[in-house]
Chain A
Amino acid sequence: MRRVLLALSLALPLAVQAQSPMAIRVTIKGMVCSFCAVGLKKTLRSEKSIQKVDVSLADKQVTLQVDPSAPPSDKRLRELVKDAGYDVLSIEHPAAPPTAFAP
């Protein structure tokens, strides 16, 4: 029984993590106004694997919540940003936050 519980406690966080969207932070060059931000959001949202886009004009950053099973490549992200008229300065893949079930 203990072994079963131990296996469950190890497997559950992995399952939860697999379903949680993954965050990617992109720093953008040229994004200076709300028109820019709305256009960029619309272009990024057209990509299936991008579930949510948050924009910070002050930080010149967009934070993407993406499907962890098929995240967009950095190359694809750069293309999308270019389609919107901007350039990528950097792409960060912050580590997933620890879950409450983590052992």
Chain B
Amino acid sequence: MGLLSFCGVAWGRPVSFLDSTMVMATGQPMMSGLSLARTISRRFSFGLSYLWMNRRRDRVNLLAQEVSLLAYRHNALNWQANAFATVGIGGLKSVGDIREMALVAVEADAESRHWYLSANSRYILSRQKFEDLQAALRAGLAPFVGEIDQINPWVVLQYQYMHQFRNRHVLTPMLRLLYQNIALEMGTSFRGEWTVNFSAEL
């Protein structure tokens, strides 16, 4: 599985197999986004991300062009591990003010057919000053495993840290369904904030 970065809190891999395109969408009351990433070599992808954020002091629209690097990959017989780094530049609109922005993101994950762990962090700058910091930790378990033509269910627990948001800490249990090259996640945080994530690897 796989599969991770960018809509809001990353949850799909930014670098995948050669000549593939990853489509990711996320929806939460405080943040939603859409991301496309085209893998152009074994280690690099180019992407475009749009993000809407409802923060403590403002509402933000962000559009960024990104380059991602698969910095590390380990393939074992029963599991795999990855580490990614991403840089992006673009524009950000907040309270009628449009300004340039840049972001740096790092991410690591490891998974088998039965368990899944990931961690990611994103640092956003605008006008060369700190704009936001977001991070997430995810752990998942598969109650049973299936083949490629079966729906594979996962139970995932996600912790998000969002520095500029009203609720900085969000803990969300989710159900994740994988079918071939499509993943759908649904959950509600312990404060009642819903989350819907979708990704497809084309």
Contact = CB atoms under 8 A, between A and B. Distances in A.
Interface of A: 29-30, 32-40, 42-43, 46, 55-58, 60, 82-87, 89
Interface of B is mostly: loop
B76 to A, nearest CB: 6
A34 B20 contact: no
Interface of B: 1-3, 16-20, 42, 70, 73-80, 111-113, 145-148, 152, 178-181, 183, 201
A38 B201 contact: yes
Contacts of A29: 75-77, 80
Contacts of B148: 34, 37-38, 55, 57
12 contacts: A29-B75, A29-B80, A32-B80, A34-B148, A35-B180, A35-B201, A38-B180, A38-B201, A42-B20, A83-B17, A83-B42, A86-B80
A32 B147 contact: no
Contacts of B76: 29-30
Interface of A is mostly: mixed
A18 B113 CA distance: 39
A2 to B, nearest CB: 51
B200 to A, nearest CB: 9
Contacts of A82: 42
A35 B178 contact: yes
Contacts of A57: 113, 145-148
A50 B80 CA distance: 26
A58 B19 CA distance: 26
Contacts of B3: 33, 35
Nearest to A39: B17
A79 to B, nearest CB: 10
Given A32-B1, A33-B3, A34-B180, A83 B18 contact: yes
